Amino acid sequence: MAPTKTHATTVLVVRQGGKIVMGSDGQVTMGQTVVKSGARKLRRLGDGKILAGFAGSAADGLTLFEKLEAKLKDAGGNLMRAAVELAKDWRTDRILRRLEALLLVADREHILMLSGTGDIIEPDADSAAVGSGGNFALAAARALLAETRLSAREIVERSLRIAADICVYTNTTFSFEEI
């Protein structure tokens, strides 16, 4: 019997008004069943100076948080250098290569999306998202960034709510981190 595909989540980060806010929903599904509604998919890393969120397998996302934390220590807290080193390992290590998750990480200077194929993407805009509802949340965030004077927290919350209205794998049990 093949394993049941786990779908998970929407993670969004916005930089606005000197603040960086990352938010996530809490839903975890297996097949067509919601198995958890309040999962925590965000972490502070690098002595609280870096926000990180994952979409995909929970065990794989948590493993990647640990690996990134170690790379941050080796790189003296430099997010870009740590991300490059993690991406190298993730792509070439036989075990890490099988991890099924995406990372979204941010500090005051960078917003990065990381994948197991070696991608390190720094978006042009002050927002990025991953997960099944990521494109919905990202579109909403970009519109709100361009058209309003809302705070970063308000933009993230409203954008996640819009994504939850559209994506069946996203709920309204939100968590947030801010620097």
Beginning with the edge strand found earlier in the chain, give each strand of the sheet holding 127-131 in spatial order.
127-131, 10-16, 19-24, 175-178
Token output for 154: 């308000």
Instruction: Report CA-CA distances (Å) from 174 to 7, 89, 140.
Output: 17, 31, 16
Which residues, 6+ apart, have CB-to-CB distance to 72 below 8 Å? 45, 46, 50, 78, 79, 82
Examine the residue annotation and report whether 9 is marked as an active-site residue of this protein. yes
Q: Which of 4, 6, 9, 117 is catalytic?
A: 9
**Residue 27, beta-bridge partner list:** none
Catalytic residues: 9
